[in-house]
Homo-oligomer: A and B are copies of this chain.
Amino acid sequence: MLSDTAPQPQPEVLLLGLGGVGVLYAYLLQKGGANVTCVCRSNYEVVRERGIDFHSDRYGTHLGWRPDRVVRSPEELAPCLPDVHPNDEVVRPYLERNRALQPAHLPTLVFIQNGIDVEEASHQRLVVSDEPLARGILSGLTWVAVTMSSNGHTVEHSDMEALRTGTYPSPKEGDVPAGLAEANAAFIALARRGGSDAHVSDDITPDRWSKLLWNASWGAVSLLARRPVFELLQAEALASTIGAVRGFLLELLDVARTSGLNEDRFPASHIDQVLQATLVCSPAKLCVLRDPKTFLEAPTFARFRPDFKPSILIDMERERPMEIEPLFAHVVRRARRTGVATPRLDLVLATLRPSQLAFARQQRKENADAFLQANEECYIGPHDALVGDVPILWTM
């Protein structure tokens, strides 16, 4: 949350979730001139007592780094994962406290997270409600490789960093709340002063979809395979890998199109770019069929380390709740609304669901067999419950 912009000499930033990405941006915003308060749950003691060793190829080494202030949440907040707690529930207590202290001064929310449709619920409940708690939402994406050690002492960051934020809604999709575009410009300026390669997005929705393309295709295949991305790229696996990845990409393009993203805002060539940018990281040499003497060349990012896994797969392996909602469930919900078939994305959701339920129960310290116990819940699945000619619903 960024509280106010130009007039004050020192902007106030309240940052929720001090993991790897959180440390990076807390550091950059602090360096850019903001007074940064971080809400820490699991690593409150660590941050307070010894600080965090922040090693960045781009921003240097900072041993024992601390934000300006560290606070514990007013209540025991769960990790800020939209699958467990929606964004608006996570920030609401802070916004209510802010309104009690300074009713005339509504802060701006900045969501830096993957996936789509992460803003609407918060926009409805916190911005356009009868008693607004925030001025508006900036919808953001970051391209970084950061890892926090499991004890929370150290954050490693590579050379790559890029940040992009836009207003919610995008000006192409609705009325932008008064002052929000200016708040966005001020936020980007602050991040740039801190050293971030930050840019304003004039239309964040297609940017969100572009970033989703990789996570919900290459990332999805790696996740279902439970293997590093690099193993998908070995010669003996490529034939089936390409078919699977392309299948996901075409489903995503189809949903994007029926959601109103036309070729102008979201060119179909993104699909080929996402496919090829990772394909050229294969240890095999790829020849273009139409001219077999030519090797496939495509713009790419840094080569994958052989053990690189998408973060959602690492969550899976550590038995932590996964970021399924913004990456997969929101896409499938849009597909159902617009009548698009997404068999592969559906299958990701179906086959992650039992693990997600198990991890959430572990986190709530519930009995592992809780699902065996009957309750009176009744559930109707209008799309999925048709079994041959026998529609069913179920109660448990």
When C-beta atoms are compared, the residue in chain B nearest to A385 turns out to be: B242
* Residue in contact with A224 in the complex, picked from B269, B347, B389, B392, CB distance below 8 Å: B347
Contact B231 A393 (CB under 8 A): no
With beta carbons under 8 angstroms apart, the residue of B235, B244, B246 that contacts A396 is B235
Q: Which residues of B contact A372 (CB under 8 A)?
A: 234, 283, 306
| Copies assembled | 2
Instruction: Give the contacts of A255-287 with B (CB-CB under 8 A).
Output: 269, 271-272, 275-276, 279, 282-287
| Residues of chain B contacted by A283 (CB below 8 angstroms) | 371-372, 374, 396
Flag if A247 contacts B347 (CB, 8 Å).
Answer: yes
Specify which of A231, A285, A353 lies most central, judged by the most chain B CB atoms within 10 Å of its CB. A353
Q: Is the CB of A284 within 8 A of B347?
A: no
Q: Which residues of B contact A288 (CB under 8 A)?
A: 390-393
| A side interface size, CB within 8 A | 74
Q: Does A355 sit within 8 A of B, measured CB to CB?
A: yes
Could you tell me if B240 and A276 are in contact, using CB atoms closer than 8 angstroms? Answer: no
A352 at the interface (CB under 8 A from B): yes
Select the residue from A236, A284, A349, A392 with max chain B CB neighbours within 10 A. A392
CB of B244 within 8 A of CB of A350, answer yes
Given contacts A227-B354, A235-B394, A272-B389, 14 further A-B contacts (CB under 8 A): A225-B353, A231-B354, A240-B346, A242-B385, A243-B381, A246-B387, A272-B387, A275-B388, A287-B378, A287-B395, A289-B390, A289-B392, A290-B391, A343-B343
List A220-244 residues whose CB lies under 8 Å from chain B: 221, 224-227, 231-232, 234-244
Q: Which residue of B224, B225, B235, B381 is within 8 Å of A377 (Cβ)?
A: B235
Q: Which of B287, B306, B346, B377 contacts A369 (CB 8 A)?
A: B306
Q: Which residues of B contact A246 (CB under 8 A)?
A: 384, 386-387
A349 — which chain B residues lie within 8 A by C-beta?
240
Q: Please tell me if the beta carbons of B243 and A286 are within 8 angstroms of each other in the complex.
A: no
CA A232 to CA B349, docked complex, whole Å: 12
Q: Within 8 Å of chain B (Cβ to Cβ): is A92?
A: no
Give the shortest distance, in Å, between A263 (CB) and chain B (any CB): 14
- Is B227's CB under 8 angstroms from A286's CB? no
**Pair B247/A346 contact, Cβ less than 8 Å:** yes
- Whole-angstrom distance between the alpha carbons of A347 and B224 in the complex? 9
**Quick one: given A371-B234, A390-B288, are A240 and B350 in contact (CB under 8 Å)?**
yes
For residue A357, CB closer than 8 A to chain B, the reply is: yes
A351 an interface residue at 8 Å Cβ cutoff?
Answer: yes
Instruction: Decide yes or no whether A380 CB sits under 8 A from chain B.
Output: yes
